[in-house]
Structure 1
Amino acid sequence: MSVQPMSVVTYQPCTFRGPDPKTEMWSSGMFDCCQDTQICCLGFWCPCCLACQVSSGLGESHCLPLLDWISGGPYPPLIPPISLALRSTLRERYRIQGSIADDCCMVTCCSSCSWCQMARELKARRSPTHINITPTAPPGIVQVTLHPSQPTYTLQATPMAGLYPPMAT
């Protein structure tokens, strides 16, 4: 059995991506509970259930938010750590403007409203992307709506030369 010399990789080609700017806004305000009465009612009557649904929607264990209620023993924590972590995760995932200090204030001062806002955001982000092709538009024009609360964008599609082989006729 012979030993092969090891080659050490000293340079790994890659593309550097700087931090993504947070350009998005929340799809609804903190106190816009009337936008979705189902979420509002669940947040009012059973906030634990709503928090578990949001946590599951973010890909975490649905039982994770329950740690906020049981972590303090007889005295709940001043700042709910799980609520704070999940809110900042949602904000970072969707590049929503804000800071950890904003998140801390929201989950501490009005936890139920914060969970309702997060649930509405997940619901809005899960709605399908609308791609409208206008039949009267010239060929190559596509209208795209990326988010229901965002405007519709008109795109000019230009064929890339040499990308596809010519079709046989």
Structure 2
Amino acid sequence: MENSKYEGESPWSTGFCDCCSDVSVCCMTIFCPCITFGRSAEIINKGSISCGESCLLYCLLHHIRAVLPSIFYGCIHRRRLRGQYGLKQSPCNDFLVHCFCHYCALCQEYRQLKYQGFDMKRGWKGNQNPGVTMAPVTEGGMKR
């Protein structure tokens, strides 16, 4: 786990209960929390585990075993995210945040990564190679 020397000093980009500030993320999290988690986990883990792998593991933990293991899994990733960006442990400790409002926590983490500049649909590798910017093609010199 990476730690920042500034851990705990920076506020989150959006509030914990601001789920509706990004309605598409809110809906995705309500209906398919595994996708929200998978996309976030891939970026938090810097591509060491893919979105699909994280999504599948989350699904197995959340739907087959019980909800509690997915809460622990979410808590671990929230702690990593806070360490990477020096975020405050807010509104309370990571376990309680995921325990009492797991979906709000997933939404907040997803929004934070978007705020950090990540295109969540592109994943870790897609964000590392944003593409080549080319100057527009112009016709040669001035003509009279």
State the TM-score, normalizing by the size of structure 2: 0.64
Q: CA 1:71–1:47 in structure 2 vs 1: closer, same or farther (change >3 Å)?
A: closer
SS at match of 2:13: coil
Q: Deviations over 1:39-64 (max 9, x none)?
A: 11111121111111111222243222
CA contact (8 A) 1:54 1:119 kept: yes
2:37 is the alignment partner of 1:47: no
CA distance in 2, matches of 1:32, 1:72: 23
Larger Rg: 1
Would you say the 8 A contact 2:35–2:55 is kept in 1? no
Of 67, 76, 100, which residue of structure 1 is paired with 2:57? Answer: 67
Between the aligned partners of 1:33 and 1:45, the Cα distance in structure 2 is: 14
Q: How many Å separate the matches in 2 of 1:74 and 1:122?
A: 28
Distance in 1 between residues matched to 2:56 and 2:73, nearest whole Å: 8
**Does residue 78 in structure 1 map to residue 68 in structure 2?**
yes
Q: Which is richer in strand?
A: 1
Matches within 5 A, 1:136-155: none
TM-score normalised by length of structure 1: 0.56
Question: How far 1:73 sits from its partner (Å)?
Answer: 8.4
Distance 1:121 1:39 in 2: 12
The gaps in structure 1 that reach 5 residues or longer are 1-17, 128-169
SS at match of 1:22: coil
* Correspondences of 1:7-156 after superposition (within 5 Å): 19-58=5-44, 59=46, 60-62=49-51, 63-71=53-61, 74-76=64-66, 78-79=68-69, 80-98=71-89, 102-126=93-117
Higher relative contact order (CA 8 A, sep 6+): 2
The 3 A distance-change label for structure 1 pair 74 and 46 is: closer
| Structure 2: gaps spanning 5 or more residues | 119-144
Give the % identical residues: 27
User: In structure 2, the residue corresponding to 1:96 is in which secondary structure?
Assistant: coil
